[in-house]
Amino acid sequence: MSVTTNQSQPPVPPPSGTDPVLLLVLGIVVVMVLGATLYLCMAHPSLAGPIGAVGGIASALATAFGLAIALRRR
């Protein structure tokens, strides 16, 4: 006759750190925004100043949003 015991195992803590898929998507978005900005600056040299400013701000915002989402999940 075997005796079984009901031993409860401690709960597994959620993994810490950021999701690698989120970081990959964030990196792809930032590279695409910067690439589109570079292309538009080369195609329209007279608008390089405004296009560069908007592209730089969009890239910074995408990074900030990605970090905010990554840190919120922790």
pLDDT value of residue 74: 58
> Cβ atoms within 10 A of the Cβ of 18, count?
16
pLDDT value of residue 62: 80
Among 26, 13, 15, 20, smallest CA distance to 60 is for 26
Does residue 62 contact residue 30 with C-beta atoms inside 8 Å?
yes
Amino acid in position 5 = T
> Above 60 in pLDDT, residue 43?
yes
The one-character DSSP state at 17 is S
pLDDT tens digits for 15-38? Answer: 666 678 877 887 888 788 788 888
pTM over 0.85: no
- CB burial readout 27-45, b (16+ within 10 A) else e: eebbeebeeebeebbeeee
pLDDT value of residue 12: 65
